[in-house]
Amino acid sequence: MTDVIIKTNFGSIKFGLLPELAPETTRSFLKLAKSGFYNGTLFHRVIPGFMIQGGDPNTKSPDKNVWGQGGPGYNLKAEFSSRSHL
């Protein structure tokens, strides 16, 4: 497992990546994080007690209609696993 810490204005969030189950997704996330891709982005979707969604560069725009539609300019193949989330 690869541990990651996201620093926010409200504190830090620690989570683990599983490169043995999702190598391309892990590689892409780490590359984007190291390049600063996520810096200044917002969590644009929050469902209390369930999940948060963020990392969209469009959240840097004041036009909320484009939030949740941005990305790095490429798509990844899905890496499914029978392992449940932690």
Indicate the number of domains in the chain: 2
Could you tell me if 33 and 64 lie in one domain?
A: no
Could you tell me if 31 and 8 lie in one domain?
A: yes
With beta carbons less than 8 A apart as the criterion, state whether 69 and 59 touch: no
With beta carbons less than 8 A apart as the criterion, state whether 58 and 70 touch: yes
Closest CA to 41 of 74, 67, 10: 67
**pLDDT for the residue 86:** 60
Domain assignment present for residue 27? The answer is: yes
User: pLDDT by residue (tens digit) across 68-79?
Assistant: 999 999 999 999
User: pLDDT by residue (tens digit) across 31-62?
Assistant: 999 999 999 999 999 999 999 999 999 999 99
Q: Give the predicted TM-score (pTM) of the model.
A: 0.88
17 backbone dihedrals φ, ψ, rounded to 5°: -100, 150
Range of 32's domain? 1-37
Domain assignment present for residue 77? The answer is: no
* Mean of pLDDT values over 4-24: 96
Could you tell me if 59 and 45 lie in one domain?
A: yes
